[in-house]
Each structure stands twice: as structure tokens, then as C-alpha cells.
Amino acid sequence: MELLFVGTGVGVPNRERIGSSLYVKIKHISLLIDLAPGVLRRLEELNIRYQDIDYFLITHFHVDHILELPLLLFVAKYPLDPRQKVWQFCGPHGIDKLFDKLLYAYGKQIAPDVPINFIEMPPNTLYLPGYVVTAFRTVHTRESHGYKIEGRGKKIVYSGDTEFSISLIEVSESADILILEASFPFDTTGHMTPERAAELAREAHAKRLILTHMYPLKFDLAIKRAKQIFPDIEVAYDGLKIIL
């Protein structure tokens, strides 16, 4: 399995980080979690063809996580290199209604030329070669959730936007790689700090913690404090690749 951090920032413009997005490759199957602003440009820089991605997974409907969606549908109709694969969009309840609203706004310029399939997660589950992908609720918006990938003795958890919660500790138990948002170096609702992420990783007995979804703020002191709680912390950057 390959994990590639396409974006590790937020919606606020940042020269070094685009909005958060994670590319996952499992044998011949590829997934992209969230369609943040700038994702298509970054995929091109990372030599990944958006036309070939099999599944697009959405964590929630905030603009900084889905803004690239209408552009994706638009460029996929590019006549010199159009998308040939069936669209597979996974996400919270209401994902099909989101597309209806986009089609109402943009019309035929984004209307897919290939079939489109919506997979509501939860309750549905993705079964991939040797792996299972499930969704779990998070504390952020009414529909927000993260994703868990398990198989071949490995467990990866991607939180999406969330606060600290007991349920997230339970989902993350013994994760080989725990990818948590750490939006701010100070406490706020709907998000976590590096210290809270470290506490969660410690309580979950995770093996490795990777922080993402970070605003362009000073995090040095917060990261230092977090490492005192859970030493095996890495701050993700755009282009970080992990092979499992």
C-alpha cells in the first residue's frame, strides 16, 4: 500500500500547502480522499493522472474539502484525454444531492460523459484487494466522518476534520498509521491541536502519528509539547509518501 499526502493544509492560501487530500494506492486500485482546492494541480506535479483514480472519498461537505469537485467533473470531459472509467464517489449521506446541486448550478459543462455511482458511507463498505475501507463518524459537522483502511495486518486511520473524542480513540486502537488533523496550535471547537492529537494517539496505542490539515501558523512549541506526550509524531507535508 502507498500513502501520498497530496495536500496537508486548509482553505487559507499557503505557498507550501494546499488543502488536505490523501492519495492511497492498493495494488492496482487508487483512492483519493477529499477534493480540496488545488488538488488537480498538485496531482499533476506528483505525476498522478486524475483520470485513472478509481474512488473519490469525501469526508464532509465544507468548501475546503470539496471545492475542486466541479472542476474535476469539468476537466474530465476534456476531449483530448477524457475520463473513461465509471465515476465512483463515496461519502456521507447526501452526497448524491450535492451532485444534483452542482449540476443545477453548472449544467452540462460538468455533466458526466461516463456513468456515475454514489456509495454512501456509512453504512456501505469498500472491499478492495486484501483491504476493507470503512467510514466512521467524527465530531465536526452533522455529516462529517473519517476513513479506516484495514488489511494484510495493517490499519490506517484518517480522521478528516474532528475534535478529540472517545469514539475516535476506539476507532484508532492500535493503528499502524494514525493520520489526525491538527488545525491550530490553540484550542478551538471542531478541530484538534497537536497536543490533543498526541493524547489521542497515546490513548489509542497507535504506532505512528502523522499530523495534517494545518493552518499557516506557528506550530513549533505545540509540536514540541506534543512529542513529550507521544514521541513518534511526524508533521506531514505536501508530497510526503509512505510505503507499507
Domain map (residue ranges) of the chain: 2-243
pLDDT, residue 80, reads 83
Sign of CA dihedral 44, 242, 188, 16: negative
Give the tens place of pLDDT for each residue, 114-167: 999 999 999 999 999 999 999 999 999 999 999 999 999 999 999 999 999 999
Residue 65 sits at the vertex; the CA angle it makes with 210 and 5, to the nearest 5 degrees, is 35
For residue 192, give the nearest of 156, 168, 208 by alpha carbon. Answer: 168
pLDDT of residue 115: 93
Percentage, residues of the chain above pLDDT 90: 96
Task: Tell which CATH architecture fits domain 2-243.
Answer: 4-Layer Sandwich (3.60)
Specify the amino acid at residue 129: P
User: What pLDDT score does 175 carry?
Assistant: 99
* Cα distance between residue 218 and residue 220, in whole Å: 6
Query: What average pLDDT score do residues 156-179 get?
Result: 98
- The C-alpha atoms of residue 40 and residue 94 are separated, in whole angstroms, by 24
pLDDT for residue 26 is more than 90: yes
Taking only the tens place, the pLDDT of each residue in 62-103 is 999 999 999 999 999 888 888 989 999 999 999 999 999 999
Q: Which of 146, 15, 7 is nearest to 68 (CA)?
A: 7
Q: What is the pTM of this model?
A: 0.96
The pLDDT value given to residue 52 = 94
Strand partners, 146: 136
Identify whether the C-beta of residue 167 lies closer than 8 Å to the C-beta of residue 136.
yes
